[in-house]
Amino acid sequence: MKLVVGGTGTIGGEVLRQLSEADVPVRALVRSEARADQLGGRADEVVVADLADPATLPDALAGVDGVFVATPGGPDQLRLESNLVEAVAASDQPAHLVKLAALGFDAVPPEQGIRFGATHSRVVQRIQELGVPHTVLAPSGFMTNFLGSAGTVRENQAIYGSAGDGAVSWIDPADVGAVAVHVLTTGGHDGASYSLTGPELLTFAQVARRLSTVVGQEVQYVDLSPEAFEQALRSAGVDDWTATGLAELHQVYRAHRAEVVTEEVHKAAGRPPTSFEAWLERHRSAFA
């Protein structure tokens, strides 16, 4: 039995969907019964538990030999994921823990990194301290991030950022799910960390040009200063912690520190990673 923590989210939902499609017995953890309707795929079992309440976790882990965890970035992520790590470590037979991180999360010590990467790095340090069998999946930027810009594409024919001419190897969340399923269902991954990317590097301006072909008119990339980008995010309703984190992330892109392309998706899935064009075609209706 596999346990998916985060099955209502984009990546966790993909893992849940693909495990169920592969007929792998899977249990989904949700914080409340109402959240079960938001799961991204079918689960053989649904358990109500809360990462904020460690006492609820042993029952969720009972009989499980593999766990996938993906939680939203935020000030509580370290505490919540550490609670899960400690519950896995305390099990009679600790499950193999597959943790979603981010590309380059371990590039610098946590105290020197951006908040997204630092949190992942500290969770992985805790996993290693407790000797939990584990694999880390560290994907690049998600293609689905651009769905958040669909409104501005339709209304203003523009996408906004602060990445300059920095490029990113954007990845389809379905490909991350495929790698996670491979790791959860095959051996030989304990202690490994896999950097997952799409097939090519694209700047935000190049993404805008590809969006233009979907919209049928020119889409511009508007490059903002870090301060203006962060303020724009806040004005759009993004919370302060996340707005600052995204502004930091775009400066990593601007410094060309995310320009990596790997073969890990191909190795695990047996096929090339999804192209941005193919992903856009699937989501044409969101932008057009």
CATH number for the domain spanning 157: value is 3.90.25.10
Q: Tokens 């495990």 correspond to what residue? A: 19
DSSP-assigned letters across all residues of 211-258: HHHHHTS--EEEEPPHHHHHHHHHHTT--HHHHHHHHHHHHHHHTTTT
Contact 65, 96 (CB under 8 A): yes
pLDDT value, residue 288: 86
Average pLDDT over residues 97-104: 97
Phi, psi of 103 (to 5 degrees): -55, 130
Contact 77, 70 (CB under 8 A): no
Q: Are residues 223 and 191 in the same domain?
A: no
The amino acid sitting at 52 is A
Q: What distances in angstroms separate CA 109 from CA 12, 82, 129, 258, one per listed residue? A: 27, 18, 16, 17
Q: Are residues 210 and 127 in the same domain?
A: no
Average pLDDT over residues 220-226: 98
The amino acid sitting at 163 is A
Q: Are residues 109 and 159 in the same domain?
A: no
Q: Are residues 24 and 105 in the same domain?
A: yes
pLDDT value, residue 69: 98
Average pLDDT over residues 81-100: 97
The boundaries of the domain holding residue 96 are 2-138+173-195
pLDDT digits (tens, 9 = 90+) for 135-173: 999 999 999 999 999 999 999 999 999 999 999 999 999
Q: Are residues 181 and 159 in the same domain?
A: no
Distance CA 270, CA 138 (A): 19
158-161/45-48 β-pairing: unpaired
DSSP state of 274: P
Q: Are residues 214 and 181 in the same domain?
A: no
Average pLDDT over residues 216-231: 97
Average pLDDT over residues 35-49: 94
pLDDT digits (tens, 9 = 90+) for 228-244: 999 999 999 999 999 99
Residue 266 maps to a domain: no
Global pTM value: 0.96
pLDDT band at residue 23 under the 50/70/90 scheme: very high
Residue 182 maps to a domain: yes
Mean pLDDT of the chain: 97
167-168/202-203 β-pairing: antiparallel
Q: Are residues 190 and 203 in the same domain?
A: no
Q: Are residues 180 and 276 in the same domain?
A: no
